[in-house]
Amino acid sequence: MTDDTSNKPRGLRKSLTSYGDNGFSLFLRKAFIKGAGYTDSALDRPVIGIVNTGSAYNPCHGNAPQLIEAVKRGVMLAGGLPMDFPTISIAESFSQPTSMYLRNLMSIDTEEMIRAQPMDAVVLIGGCDKTVPAQLMGAASAGIPSIQLITGSMLTGAHRGERVGACTDCRRYWGRFRAEEINADEIAAVNNQLVASVGTCSVMGTASTMACIAEALGMTVPGGASPPAVTSDRMRIAELTGAQAVKMAHEQLTIDKILTAEALENAMRVLLAIGGSTNGIVHLTAIAGRMGYEVDLKALDRMGRETPVLVDLKPSGAHYMEDFHKAGGMASLLRELKPLLNLDALTVTGRTLGEEIDAAGPAFAQDVVRPFDRPVYPQGGIAVLEGNLAPGGAIIKQSAADARLMEHEGRAVVFENGADLAARIDADDLDVTPDDILVLKNIGPKGAPGMPEAGYIPIPRKLAVQGVKDIVRISDGRMSGTAFGTIVLHVTPESAIGGPLAHVRNGDRIRLSVSKRELSLLISDEELAARAQASPVTEPSADRGYRKLFYDTVTQADKGVDFDFLRAARMRGVTPRG
C-alpha cells in the first residue's frame, strides 16, 4: 500500500500557484498563511483538507461546525494540519429546479478545489441526498487520499403518540390530507414534529442509502454510516475520520485503491439489501463512471434475485435510522451479507472489508437487521425492467410497491410534463380509475431539466378521497428514497430526447410485469415508429450558462446523469460481474 513518493511534493508544496518561480510561489504562500498565525512547525505537517458544506439553507448539514471541529481535533492529534474550505452545499428541498440539476456542479466544485489547493488528503463532509455522491464523484476524479464523513440522520419526533420522521411520514400525512382524512390544523401540527433535529432524513431515503453505500464502498471509518447527527457517537466518528485522513496521507492510500469494481459491487449488494433509494443506482453509476466502470443493470437485477431486503426501515419496513444504529448499524448488515461480499476489497483504514467485519465482533439480539431466513422482502429492493417502453431500462422499488399491482395491465392516463400534471391531477373531470396507469413525460435528465423527484405522482384527488392508496405510475424521472408505491422510474431513453415514452397516448394499454421484468406499450413496432415520425421531438436547449452545459453534455440515467466529459476517458471494466 505504501508507494515510493519521496520525490512528490507534500503539504504546502503541492498545487503551487504558477508565477514562473516555484521557490517564490512557496515563499509567497507561506507568507500569507502565516498572516493567519501559523508557525513553520505547523506548516511542515501533512495538510488535510476538510470540505465544509455547511449552509443556512441546508439543515441536513446543521451540525457541520461541530463536525469540522471534531475532524480538526482528530487531524491534530494524529500530527496533521487541518484546513477547512467551503464548497457548494445542496439541500434537497431548497434547490430549484431540483437538487439533481446541481449535483454535477457540486462535483466539479469539489474536484477543482481539491486540485487547486494544497492537501495531502481530504475529508468530505456530506449528508443530504446529492452531496455525498457529488463529493465521491469529485474526489474520484481528483484522485488523492479521500475519506467520507456523513453528517448523520435526524432524530424522530412524535405526533399524537405516534412516532414520526421525515420524510416517509411527510408523504403519508400529506396523502391523508389530500384525501381529506385530516384537516389543516392537524397537518400543521404534524409539520412541527416530522423533523425533530438537524440531520438527514430518518428513514432509508437517499441520504441514508448513500451513507450505507459509502461505508460499503470502504470510504468511511467503520460505523460511519448510522450515528444520528446530534449524538456523541457522530462526533467520535468525526474525530476518528480526521485521524484516519492523516494516516491515509502518510500511506498515500489514494481513492482509486478503494473505489474498485469489487467495492462498487459490494455497494450494489448493500443497496439491494437495505431496500435503498432508487436514486442510489443513478449515483453509483455516476461514481463508477468516474472510475472507468460501466454498470451492468442486467447483472444488478440478477444480483437482486439472490439478495433479500434485510433492513427493516421505512419505507420498505417499520423502523428508523436511529434504530438501525442501535442495532449495530452496517456491521450487523455486513455480517449477514458476508457470504455474498467481496471481502478482499480495501477500505480507508488500510484493512479489507472482511477484516473490518471480523473486527466488529459478534452479533447480538436485535430486530432491525433480519437474518437471511426471515427477510423483510425475499428479493432485493430494486428490480430492473425492460421492454419496448424502456429499451435502455427502467427500475421499480419492488419492496415498497403494492404486491397486487406488480402484475398489471391498464389504460394510460398521460401527462405531458410537470405543469400539465399540476394543472389536471386534482380535476374533478379527470378520466381516471384505480385500474389505470398514470404516465408522466418530460421529467428526465433533460426534460425538466435535472430529473426531479416528480416520479412520485400523487394519487388523483378524486381517487384519494375514495380511499385509493396506490396506483401504477410511470415516468422518466426519479422519486425520493423516502417515497413508496408501485412506481416505475428512470425510463430510458427519456421522452425529451425522443424515447418511446414520448409517444404514449391517452388510452394506450401498458403492461407491467415485475416477475418477468417487463414494461411494455401494447402497440406494434410499426405504430410506434409512425408516431415518432409524425411527432418528432425537439430536444431542449439553452443559449448560455450552466443550463447550456447541462443540456449539451448530460447523460441518460443508465450512465448516471453525469456530464459526458467528466466520465473516465478510458473505460476499464464492468460492474457487477455477470
Instruction: Please write the tens of the pLDDT for every residue from 122-167.
Output: 999 999 999 999 999 999 999 999 999 999 999 999 999 999 999 9
Q: Binning pLDDT at 50, 70 and 90, where does residue 481 land?
A: confident
Q: Is residue 220 in some structural domain?
A: yes
Are 168 and 272 members of one domain? no
Are 281 and 389 members of one domain? no
Q: Last residue of a domain, which of 191, 216, 244?
A: 191
437-453: average pLDDT: 96
Query: How many structural domains comprise the chain?
Result: 3
Q: What percent of the chain has pLDDT over 90?
A: 95
Q: What is the pLDDT of residue 6?
A: 56
Q: What is the pLDDT of residue 3?
A: 47
Q: Which residue, among 39, 151, 4, has the nearest Cα to 91 in the 3D structure?
A: 151
Are 139 and 168 members of one domain? no
Residue keyed to cell 448516471: 560
Strands 509-513 and 487-492: unpaired
Rounded Cα distance, 257 and 152, in Å: 26
Are 424 and 288 members of one domain? no
Q: Give Cα separations from 91 to 207, 357, 446, 554 (angstroms).
A: 11, 33, 21, 21
Read off the amino acid at residue 260: T
Look up the domain containing 407 and give its range: 382-538
Identify the three-state secondary structure at position 383: strand
Q: Is residue 14 in some structural domain?
A: no
Are 84 and 186 members of one domain? no
Rounded Cα distance, 27 and 507, in Å: 73
Q: What is the CATH number of the domain that holds 430?
A: 3.50.30.80
Q: Is residue 566 in some structural domain?
A: no
Are 53 and 99 members of one domain? yes
Q: Binning pLDDT at 50, 70 and 90, where does residue 265 land?
A: very high
Are 246 and 339 members of one domain? yes
Q: Last residue of a domain, which of 166, 191, 216?
A: 191
As a residue count, the chain comes to 578
278-296: average pLDDT: 97
Q: Last residue of a domain, which of 325, 359, 393?
A: 359
Are 163 and 279 members of one domain? no
Q: Is residue 290 in some structural domain?
A: yes
Degrees (nearest 5) of the Cα angle 244, 246, 247? 65
Q: What is the pLDDT of residue 450?
A: 95
Rounded Cα distance, 401 and 389, in Å: 20
8 A C-beta contact, residue 558 and residue 451: no
Sequence-separated (6 or more) residues with CB below 8 Å from residue 516: none
What mean pLDDT is reported for the chain? 96
Q: Is residue 304 in some structural domain?
A: yes
Whether 5 has a pLDDT exceeding 60, the answer reads no
Rounded Cα distance, 17 and 250, in Å: 24
Are 353 and 205 members of one domain? yes
Q: 178-230, pLDDT tens digit by residue?
A: 999 999 999 999 999 999 999 999 999 999 999 999 999 999 999 999 999 99
DSSP 200-242: B-SSSSHHHHHHHHHHHTT-S-TT-SSS-TTSHHHHHHHHHHH
Q: Which residues pair with 475 in a beta bridge?
A: 440
Q: What is the pLDDT of residue 483?
A: 87
- pTM, full prediction: 0.96
Rounded Cα distance, 431 and 380, in Å: 35
Q: 493-545, pLDDT tens digit by residue?
A: 999 999 999 999 999 999 999 999 999 999 999 999 999 999 999 999 999 99
Q: Is residue 370 in some structural domain?
A: no
Strands 487-492 and 390-397: antiparallel
Are 251 and 131 members of one domain? yes
DSSP 324-336: HHHTTHHHHHHHH
The residue ranking higher by pLDDT, 4 or 400, is 400
Are 286 and 309 members of one domain? yes
Rounded Cα distance, 430 and 309, in Å: 37
Residue keyed to cell 420522521: 165
Q: Is residue 339 in some structural domain?
A: yes
Are 121 and 164 members of one domain? no
Sequence-separated (6 or more) residues with CB below 8 Å from residue 388: 500, 520, 521, 525, 528
Q: What is the pLDDT of residue 283?
A: 98
Degrees (nearest 5) of the Cα angle 452, 457, 459? 160
CA dihedral 157, 163, 166, 170 (to 10 degrees): -120
Q: 42-60, pLDDT tens digit by residue?
A: 999 999 999 999 999 999 9
Q: Is residue 564 in some structural domain?
A: no
